[in-house]
Every structure is written in structure tokens, then in C-alpha cells.
């Protein structure tokens, strides 16, 4: 059974900000006589063979993590990730490129690959040890981007490598409302990414994630639940049903007085669930999935020695 250790995140301090700027400054002892340009040209053309030959020479290799170019100065690895040139990317990694190097936006090559939808580059970077959470110095994260864009393949790769299903945008404490209305589930819902939404829940995302965080509740008197957000945004009833099936607290949403369409199927599902308790089978499924999540193996359903029909039921499959 594969066990993934999640990397801890921390709040960014003034010292961190100073550090990131110092990290992005070019080294004074690097005298570039066009070596960086040659490396970038080979990457841009995906001429991975020439790139390999160049990096076998010390005068080129010392610029493997140097930032250069117009617009957003970037390392050769970031350039390869942005263009989806996986062969060049693999050559750079083989020669020791820093897999989590930062550009001037404090974004990692993985974040760039995710933002541009390059699945093979995402796989290569993650296999090389890239942090699935991206940089602690950037407000966004690869998982938030994948959930928003609806890229199921990339989302699965990130989750398989330990990305936090309940990650929130890193915003100042005074922007607590923005933090409450963020997170992969929220973005997948408001952008209509049903398959990403389902996958996040299957990987252990908390359907009540923005109403169970004590620090969040201390800053916001009445945080809106994901159920309420889905109703307000007019999300399809499939989103409401998934939240209910995965154990969302149906008594938390404040729907009294809301200007919702009387014939809203999602609202009908919510009110029906409030009136009728869950079946014993539904409660058992929630209990089993909860225990697996607590053990750190939310995806271990397939390894349980139970009949296939029960395995499918635990996976919310027909």
C-alpha cells in the first residue's frame, strides 16, 4: 500500500518575503556569455539532444538554474514546463535542474506545467520529487488551478502524490472571507467541474471544509457552507447530491429567505435529506470511508477484501 507523506505548509513572514527576493537575484559570480540563451533556445525548440550535449559541458551546466529571458525571466526547466517539452524537461532533470526552482512570481515549474495543462510534464516533475503543493511563497497552488480548469488527469496525479484536498488560497487574515470561499471543492463547483468535484471527494476532501476549521470560524461569524454556495451559484443538482452522499451537514446551510427558484432540484434534494434520515447502508459507507481517511488511506477501498459490489458502493459507483 502506497503511503504519501504530506509536506507541511506555513504562513509567510516578512523574513520569508526578503528571502524569496534574495533567492531570485542573479549570482554575481555568473558571467553569462550567451550560454543561458543557447540553453533556452534548445529548450524552446525541444532540441533535447543538443540540450544534453550542452549540459555535459561545465560552462553551460552552471547556468542550468539561471533565470533569463523576456517577460517573466525563467529557468530552462520552467520554460520546458510552460511549453510542454517533456523530453527537454527530462534532460534538464537528469542533469540536476532544481525541480522546485522559483520564477519571479514565486511559481514552480510544476505550477507552470499544471497551468498550461501539460500532463506528461506534470508526471515527470512529480516523479522527480516536485512538491505537489507548489511554493509556500505563492498565493495559489497547483491543485487549486487543476480543480478550476477541470483537468481530471492532472488533478489525479497531484492527489496521488499527496496534494492536500482541502488546500486554501494563501491570503492575509483580514481576507478571511476570501479564504472561506476558496478551496478545490469550491472552485470545481462554481466552474462546473463535476468530475474533478467527484474525484476530490473520493480522495478525502471535506464537504464541510470551510465550516470545521476553528481558526476560520473564529474570524468569520457565519461562514457559508459548500452546500449553500452551490445553491447560490445555481450549481447542478449532481453537485448537491454528491455533497450529501459524502456526508455534508445538511443542517448547516441557511436557506431561509434565500431567493432560490421554487423548483430548484438542488434545494429539493437538501430539504428531502433533512426530512429523511440516511439509510443504514449510507451511514455505513460514510463510516468506512471516514475510518480509511483517518488512517491516511482514503484510496485503499480497492484493497479491501470485500465483494466487488460493495467495493463499487464504497466508491460511489453504480
- CATH number for position 116: 1.25.40.20
Same domain, 152 and 244: yes
Q: Which of 93, 111, 138 is the last residue of a domain?
A: 138
How many beta carbons lie within 10 A of that of residue 192, not counting itself? 13
Same domain, 150 and 117: no
Confidence at 149, pLDDT banded by 50, 70, 90: very high
- pLDDT, greater one: 299 or 97: 97
Q: Is 275 a residue whose pLDDT tops 70? A: yes
- pLDDT, greater one: 209 or 46: 46
Same domain, 270 and 288: no
Q: Which of 86, 110, 138 is the last residue of a domain?
A: 138
Query: For position 217, what pLDDT does the model report?
Result: 60
Cβ atoms of 184 and 144 within 8 Å: the answer is: yes
Asked whether residue 84 is domain-assigned, the answer is yes
Asked whether residue 236 is domain-assigned, the answer is yes
- Asked which of 85-94, 233-242, 245-254 is least confident by mean pLDDT, the reply is 245-254
- Give the structural domain span for 195: 139-276
Same domain, 209 and 287: no
**The total number of structural domains that make up the chain:** 3
Question: Hey, which residues does 74 pair with through a beta bridge?
Answer: 68
Same domain, 268 and 165: yes
Asked whether residue 200 is domain-assigned, the answer is yes
Give the separation between CA 24 and CA 238, rounded to whole angstroms.
45
Same domain, 158 and 94: no
Asked whether residue 124 is domain-assigned, the answer is yes
Q: Give Cα 151 distance to the centre of its chain.
A: 11
Same domain, 177 and 255: yes
Query: For position 122, what pLDDT does the model report?
Result: 98
The phi and psi torsions of 76 (rounded to 5 degrees) equal -55, -35
CA atoms within 13 A on the CB side of 180: 24
**At how many degrees (to 10) do helices 86-94 and 119-127 cross?**
10
Give the separation between CA 144 and CA 167, rounded to whole angstroms.
8
Q: Which residue has the cell 523530453?
A: 87
Same domain, 98 and 213: no
Same domain, 180 and 217: yes
Q: What is the mean pLDDT of residues 72-95?
A: 93
Helices (H) and strands (E) in the chain, counts: 19, 0
The tens digit of pLDDT for each residue in 16-34 reads: 555 555 555 554 445 777 8
Q: What is the mean pLDDT of residues 287-303?
A: 84
Cβ atoms of 315 and 308 within 8 Å: the answer is: no
Asked whether residue 264 is domain-assigned, the answer is yes
CA-closest candidate to residue 118, choices 91, 77, 84, 151: 84
Asked whether residue 225 is domain-assigned, the answer is yes
Query: For position 173, what pLDDT does the model report?
Result: 54
Asked whether residue 27 is domain-assigned, the answer is no
The phi and psi torsions of 235 (rounded to 5 degrees) equal -65, 155
Asked whether residue 12 is domain-assigned, the answer is no
- pLDDT, greater one: 264 or 180: 264
Same domain, 66 and 124: yes
Q: What is the mean pLDDT of residues 149-159?
A: 96
Same domain, 107 and 232: no
Q: Residue 32 region, left (φ>0) first, then alpha (ψ -120 to 50), else beta? A: beta
Q: Which residue has the cell 470511508?
A: 289
Confidence at 234, pLDDT banded by 50, 70, 90: confident
pTM (whole model) above 0.75: yes
Q: What is the mean pLDDT of residues 219-236?
A: 78
Give the separation between CA 235 and CA 114, rounded to whole angstroms.
25
Sign of CA dihedral 230, 231, 236, 240: positive
Q: Is 312 a residue whose pLDDT tops 70? A: yes
Q: Is 172 a residue whose pLDDT tops 60? A: no
Question: Can you read off the three cell numbers belonging to residue 181?
Answer: 470561499
Query: For position 298, what pLDDT does the model report?
Result: 80
Same domain, 99 and 198: no
Give the separation between CA 145 and CA 221, rounded to whole angstroms.
28
Q: Which of 107, 138, 169 is the last residue of a domain?
A: 138
**To the nearest whole number, what is the mean pLDDT of the chain?**
82
Amino acid at each position: 500500500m502506497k503511503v504519501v507523506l504530506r509536506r507541511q505548509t506555513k504562513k509567510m513572514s516578512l523574513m520569508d518575503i526578503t528571502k524569496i527576493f534574495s533567492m531570485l537575484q542573479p549570482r554575481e559570480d555568473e558571467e553569462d556569455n550567451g550560454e543561458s540563451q543557447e540553453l533556452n533556445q534548445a529548450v524552446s525548440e525541444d532540441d533535447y539532444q543538443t540540450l544534453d550535449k550542452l549540459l555535459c559541458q561545465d560552462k553551460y551546466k552552471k547556468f542550468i538554474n539561471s533565470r533569463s529571458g523576456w517577460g517573466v525571466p525563467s529557468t530552462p526547466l520552467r520554460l520546458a514546463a510552460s511549453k510542454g517539452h517533456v523530453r527537454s524537461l527530462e534532460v534538464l532533470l537528469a542533469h540536476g535542474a532544481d525541480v522546485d526552482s522559483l520564477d519571479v512570481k514565486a511559481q514552480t515549474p510544476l505550477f507552470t506545467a499544471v497551468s498550461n495543462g501539460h500532463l506528461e510534464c506534470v508526471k515527470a516533475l512529480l516523479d522527480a520529487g516536485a512538491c505537489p503543493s507548489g511554493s509556500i511563497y505563492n498565493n495559489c497552488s497547483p491543485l487549486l488551478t487543476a480543480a478550476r480548469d477541470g483537468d481530471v488527469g492532472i488533478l489525479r496525479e497531484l492527489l496521488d502524490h499527496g496534494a492536500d484536498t482541502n488546500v486554501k488560497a494563501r491570503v492575509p487574515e483580514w481576507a478571511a472571507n476570501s479564504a472561506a470561499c476558496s478551496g478545490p471543492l469550491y472552485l470545481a463547483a462554481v466552474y462546473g467541474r463535476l468530475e474533478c468535484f467527484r474525484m476530490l471527494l473520493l480522495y478525502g476532501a471535506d464537504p464541510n471544509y470551510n465550516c470545521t476549521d476553528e481558526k476560520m470560524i473564529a474570524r468569520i461569524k457565519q461562514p457559508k457552507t459548500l452546500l449553500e454556495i452551490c445553491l447560490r451559484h445555481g450549481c447542478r443538482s449532481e453537485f448537491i447530491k454528491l455533497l450529501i452522499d459524502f456526508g455534508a451537514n445538511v443542517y448547516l446551510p441557511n436557506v431561509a429567505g434565500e431567493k432560490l427558484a421554487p423548483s430548484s432540484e438542488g434545494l429539493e434534494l437538501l430539504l428531502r435529506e433533512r426530512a429523511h434520515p440516511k439509510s443504514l447502508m449510507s451511514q455505513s459507507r460514510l463510516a468506512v470511508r471516514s475510518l480509511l481517511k483517518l488512517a491516511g488511506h482514503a484510496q485503499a477501498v480497492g484493497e479491501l477484501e470485500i465483494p466487488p459490489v460493495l467495493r463499487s458502493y464504497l466508491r460511489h459507483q453504480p
